[in-house]
Each structure stands twice: as structure tokens, then as C-alpha cells.
Amino acid sequence: MNQSDAEGLLYDGRHYDLVYNDFLDDIPFYIKQAHKYGEPVLELACGTGRITIPLAEQGFKSPAWT
């Protein structure tokens, strides 16, 4: 596999989701930070929503949703 082949893996959300599907350890940190600093919550480069979706499920609003 050459470098250009590997770069595609970094930018494909399907691969990201497969790799990080069961990694949930960091989500409580982000929820704690959202409680600490308040709304709106802006997650830059949110990708497939691995962090954004749990924040929304907790009721946090994003400026993009207003």
C-alpha cells in the first residue's frame, strides 16, 4: 500500500466509525466540558458525529442547529 492509498483511510468516515465504534471513554469528558462552559457547543470537524450525537442526546445545542 502506498501513501496515497493510506490517506483515503483517514478521510473515509466509514473506516473511522469501524475503528472507533466501541471507543466511548472520551465522551463523558466532552459532556462534562459542555456542562462546565455551557451552550452553544461547537464541535469543529465533527465528522460522523461520534461526539456531537451524544452531546445532542444530552440536550446541548449547536450554533449550526439554530
Domain ranges of the chain: 23-66
pLDDT for position 19: 83
Region 22-48: mean pLDDT is: 92
Residues 6+ apart with CB under 8 A from 6: none
Q: Give the per-residue pLDDT at 18.
A: 85
Helices and strands per DSSP (H, E), number in the chain = 4, 0
Kindly tell me if the per-residue pLDDT of 3 is higher than 70: no
Instruction: Report pTM.
Output: 0.74
pLDDT at 30: 95
pLDDT value at position 38?
A: 92
